[in-house]
Amino acid sequence: MTTTGKRIGIVGARGHTGAELIRLVSAHPALELAFVSSRELDGQRVDAHVAEYRGELRYSAPDHADLPRLGADVVVLALPNGKATACVEAFDQAGVDPVIVDLSADFRFDERWYYGLPELTRDSWRGERRISNPGCYATALQLSIAPLKDLLAAPPVCFGVSGYSGAGTTPSDKNDPEKLRDNLMPYALTGHMHEKEASRHLGVPVEFMPHVAPHFRGLTVTTNLYLSRRMSREEVMARFHGAYGGEPLVNVLDEAPWVSRIAGRHHAEIGGFAVSADGKRVVIVATLDNLLKGAATQAMQNINRAIGVAETTAIPLP
């Protein structure tokens, strides 16, 4: 693909992640919005909902069969799990082949799709046009475990807490501020989708216990790792600096990061690195904004690679 004048469409743009994508696209020198779809906002001006957008575009509600005719070079599917497949089938049936980036879990286990966690899968990039964007928790889990996965003596055990924006905009207990007030709500304590996803792509079993908290955005994951041999804290940190030292969107810290410091920022932070007295257990803390590095920012990293520009184009760096 050439790098000028690419048109991008967003399907399911009403949600929190859709709005963040519009903000990123609005600042992008090589992308312009072709369409943004939302049945709830159909006909309303985009700039009435996303102040960073400057233009006349309005939300629309095209049928799946209409999507291939809208002239987008890149299409982002920001839809609930189970809804992306029909959109992809519409493009296939029409013989239209844009770059498609899917933010749902629909294709994260499909070998035909590129799994786009750049810091861990960049070397396997082969110019694919179908990209599955990792889940927010799954991103934090994998970044926390990958540098030590060859030394694991047992499955990693991960305790996660996310802001309620991670539960989407459809009303539920998990995004009801009143029910969350002064509360920490556990859910899907075994078999969570992101547990399966991280296990699949790391190639090691991962145990994950998610919770939702009263804050709006940002997640934290505390991971307990049992090691097959003794390691010092300095050795552990050297592994992480070696893995992520050149990564602009992963910061390795000495101290444990705070979720309150990551909200609205585009990178992940990993720190803590508490090592037990026998050197065979380490506890690591990772934070990221679930709407940004956990979704929209990571999608933009993948889009940038697909259209042939620098991976961090239009992404504010820490």
Per-residue model confidence (pLDDT) at position 215? 96
Which of 223, 222, 217 is CA-nearest to residue 296?
217
Per-residue model confidence (pLDDT) at position 4? 62
- Give, in degrees to the nearest 5, the angle at Cα 316 between 244 and 160: 55
Q: Which fold has domain 136-290?
A: Dihydrodipicolinate Reductase; domain 2 (3.30.360)
pLDDT in tens, the chain (318 residues): 444 689 999 999 888 999 999 999 999 999 999 999 999 999 999 999 999 999 999 999 999 999 999 999 999 999 999 999 999 999 999 999 999 999 999 999 999 999 999 999 999 999 999 999 999 999 999 999 999 999 999 999 999 999 999 887 778 899 999 999 999 999 999 999 999 999 999 999 999 999 999 999 999 999 999 999 999 999 999 999 999 999 999 999 999 999 999 999 999 999 999 999 999 999 999 999 999 999 999 999 999 999 999 999 999 998
Per-residue model confidence (pLDDT) at position 252? 98
CB 101 within 8 A of CB 74: yes
CA 86 from centroid of its chain's CA atoms = 22
Say whether 87 is catalytic.
no
CA dist 188 and 180 (Å) reads 17
Reported for 39-48, long-range contacts at CB under 8 A and 24+ positions apart, including other chains, are: 39/14, 40/14, 41/13, 41/14, 46/22
Q: What is the pTM of this model?
A: 0.96
Q: Which fold has domain 6-134+294-307?
A: Rossmann fold (3.40.50)
Residues 6 or more apart in contact with residue 146 via CB below 8 angstroms: 120, 202, 243
Catalytic residue among 136, 167, 291, 315: 136
Residue ranges per domain, the chain?
6-134+294-307, 136-290
Cα separations (Å) of 229 from 152, 155, 233, 282?
9, 15, 13, 11
